[in-house]
Structure 1
Amino acid sequence: MGRWRVYIIGDADRLNEEASNCMLKTLEEPPSHTILVLLAPDEDSVLPTISSRCLHVALRPLQRRLVADGLVRLWGAEQEQAETAAALSGGRPGYALTLAGEPERMSRRKAALEELALLSGMPPSERINKANTLAKMFTDARADLYDLLDVWEGWWRDVLIVRASASELAVNVDQLPTLASVAGRVNAQRASGAIELIQATRRQLFENVNPRLALEALTLGLP
């Protein structure tokens, strides 16, 4: 772009309050010929102090078929692997490539879904113990915890989608039978509440709320 410089900041929704405050001056008065691009799933997931200083540009995801075909044709991915990665990516080619090229990511996703399934059958005392485990993860491997919350949120969004008889739009395409089972016994209000609770927990963690208390509220509140 000639004299222009473009800086892309991924996962802007994961900036905590301290990191966001460090950026405010730059966002208000960026250097000349400089464009800052902050990437986030949606406007509401970014702290208001950041969002209010940005011009919001909505980007539409690519069709799954195009993403999957690209993975197969350009990167040599297996068809089934490509289709799963394309669905899980939400139409983001870069993330789809990461999923297809890093098997450990898929393994962590599978583990996160297994943990969510176990959580649904736990009594309150075991749910509190699970919250303590997640709080330790927040200290030792914070990015992994945020990834887990993303998987959980996507799962409950898919439950709503399946309840609405739109299974073709589900992200977790390899979990459709289980999603159908859960959708048959959890009403839309409870599924929506689970999504809102996960989103609230993520915001609280960004805002440095006591992680154990925030995660206890999460594990006790999920269906």
Structure 2
Amino acid sequence: MSVWDELTGQSEAIEVFRAAAASAAPASAAPASAAPDIAGPASAGPAATALTTAASATATPVSAGPIGEVPVGANHSASSHGAMTHSWLITGPPGSGRSNLAYAFASALLCRNGGCGVCADCRQVAARTHPDLAVLSTDRVIISIEEVRTLVASSQFSPSVSRYRVMVIEDADRMAERTSNVLLKALEEPPERTVWILCAPSEADLLPTIRSRVRSVRLRIPSTKDVARLLERRDGVDTATAERAAREAQSHIGMAHRLATNHEARARRDETLKVALGIRSVPGAVLAAARLLELAKADAEAITEERDAEERESTLRSLGVEPGQAVPMGLRSQVKTLEEDQKRRATRSLRDGIDRILVDLLSLYRDILLLQLESTLEPINLAIHSEIEAAARDTEPAQTLAIMDSIAVARTRISRNVTPTLSLEAMLITVALPSAPRKAQL
């Protein structure tokens, strides 16, 4: 067993990081002057040169392009692009396993056995408590500049028990330009034994100056079969449930896990599709928008409620406050800060819940369009195939495309802080409008 075993559908990216971790091991390390990092960032600074080693003495370096991107999709051996460097960027669509791969790489760098998955180092990385691991993740809309400044300051410390100090930033795309410039200074002149691992949906989500100082590894969407096998192996889910969850989550690993293990989440998704299919008029669309918003709120609360309670209990315990005891006046400011953070997280969680609903609706109308065009592609929502067939018979492909466009517009509006109710109503009215010229009425 190793830290790489829990990853799925990313064999080429895993090969890159395993080779990099192996090249960074003391036994295989070579002097930096003997093995220049030709594939690394062009302007990474002297620290990157000191950190860089070759995977083997006879390895042939591969040019990484203008932003240092590792050619993961190319047919190169691990040694040809597996040299270690001081900063990495893992990109890929939501649910592709960006953060999982980042922590697997961190374990491989911090573990004395190269990422065995069972030692104290690996367990500490999994729990995010390793003394040489610093993590910046957020449940809010943006990462604050103070959070980045604190992380950058801690990156200057030397490793305490391992070869490296590893800094992980999840959702690095949530940094404003001013915040990104704080990180840029750290990437330009990092300490010799500090490794940065950033995660983002795509390279375009970061500033060009950041991209020029990292080595990028792009992930692909894992297949539904790969995700289903992971659910069976890791979560003990039966084959039928795992395959349905993987398919309906569209290979989003986190969402597939939730659908496979949470009956209420599956029920909310099923109701979402039924609500959309039942729209017949503009007033019905308005009522449906209100119902979908209720479902999104219920989903968001289910995700955050348990975690909020655990955080509050842990905080009070660390402050020495017993369960049921009133919080002393001097400690109330700290509890208030926690509550404010939880409120901001709830706002972000609601936005994510609405976006999940819109993605589910997009899969619904995608299936309808496939039937209308007589495509042989496999539908996503097989459980309601008869209802989808009826909807496909009653509408034209042009109408279905218009609905899918309105869903895309709604997702953009919500990402720009347009009121969710108005966004959902405008989108669902588009669903109601084609109902007048249905084929059955012609």
TM-score of the pair, normalised by structure 2: 0.40
Distance across 1 between alignment mates of 2:223 and 2:365: 22
Paired amino acid for 2:177: L
Cα 1:60–1:217 change in 2 (3 A) is: same
Offset, 1:200: 0.7
Equivalent residue number for residue 399 of structure 2? 190
In the alignment, is the contact (CA less than 8 A) between 1:87 and 1:173 conserved in 2? no
Q: Return the alpha-carbon distance in structure 1 between the equivalents of residues 357 and 229 of structure 2.
A: 27
Cα distance change of structure 1 residues 125 and 89 upon mapping to structure 2, 3 Å threshold: closer
Matched, 1:27 2:150: no
The whole-number CA distance in structure 1 between the counterparts of 2:234 and 2:296 is 37
1:61 Cα offset (Å)? 2.1
Render the CA deviation track for 1:90-113: whole Å, top value 9, x for unaligned: 223333222211222111101101
Residue 78, structure 1, aligned to residue 231, structure 2: no
**Aligned residue number for residue 409 of structure 2:** 200
Q: Is the 8 A contact 1:89 1:95 kept in 2?
A: yes
- For residues 161 and 118 of structure 1, the distance between their equivalents in structure 2, rounded to whole angstroms, comes to 20
Contact (CA 8 Å) 1:8, 1:38: kept in 2 or not? yes
Instruction: Name the CA shift for 1:161/1:25 in 2 (closer, same or farther; >3 Å).
Output: farther
Deviation at 1:76, TM superposition (A): 1.6
Larger radius of gyration: 2
CA contact (8 A) 1:131 1:216 kept: yes
- SS at 2:198 equivalent: strand
Paired amino acid for 1:124:
V
Match of 2:247 among 78, 87, 101: 87
1:5 pairs with 164, 167, 175, which one?
167
Letter in 1 for 2:176: M
Q: 1:127 is matched with which residue?
A: 285
Q: Which runs of 5+ in 2 are unaligned?
A: 1-108, 110-163, 188-194, 301-349, 435-442
- Closer/same/farther in 2, CA of residues 136 and 98 from structure 1, 3 Å limit: closer
Q: CA deviation at 1:87?
A: 0.6
State the AA in 1 paired with 2:168.
Answer: V
- Residue 220 of structure 2 aligns to a residue in which SS? coil
1:179 aligns with 2:179: no
Mapped partners of 1:216, 1:107: distance in 2: 22
Q: Amino acid of the residue matched to residue 76 of structure 1?
A: G
* Cα distance in 2 between the residues matched to 1:52 and 1:185: 47
Matched, 1:59 2:59: no
Q: In structure 2, how many angstroms separate the alpha carbons of the residues matched to 1:178 and 1:92? A: 25
Q: Which amino acid aligns with 1:84?
A: R
1:72–1:78 contact (8 Å) kept in structure 2? yes
CA distance in structure 1 between the partners assigned to 2:166 and 2:248 by the alignment = 34
Larger relative contact order (CA 8 Å, sep ≥ 6): 1
Q: What is the root-mean-square deviation in Å for CA atoms of aligned residues? A: 3.2
2:269 match: secondary structure: helix
Which residue number in structure 2 is paired with residue 15 of structure 1?
Answer: none
CA displacement, residues 47-95 of structure 1 (integer Å, 9 cap, x when unaligned): x8x4665868653222222322332233221121111011112223333
How far is the alpha carbon of 1:165 from its aligned partner? 3.4
Judged with a 3 Å threshold, the aligned counterparts in structure 2 of structure 1 residues 170 and 60 are, in CA distance, closer, same or farther, namely farther
The total of aligned residue pairs comes to 205
Q: Equivalent pairs: percent with the same residue?
A: 22
CA drift of 1:189 comes to 1.8
Alignment CA distance shift 1:62-1:129 (3 Å): closer
Which of the numbers 144, 147, 150 marks the counterpart of 2:359?
A: 150
Q: Taking structure 1 as the reference length, what is the TM-score of the superposition?
A: 0.74
**Partner residue of 2:262 out of 96, 102, 106:** 102
- How far does residue 198 in structure 1 lie from its aligned partner after superposition? 1.1
Contact 1:160 1:192 in 2 (8 A): yes
Q: Which residue of 1 aligns with 2:88?
A: none
Tell me if 1:169 matches 2:378.
yes
Q: Which amino acid aligns with 1:107?
A: A
Aligned to 2:423: 214
Point out where structure 1 has 5 or more consecutive residues left out of the alignment: 13-19
Residue equivalent to 1:16: none
Once residues 158 and 51 of structure 1 are traced to their aligned partners in structure 2, the CA distance between those partners, rounded to angstroms, is 34
The answer to whether the Cα contact below 8 Å between 2:180 and 2:207 also exists between their aligned partners in 1 is: no
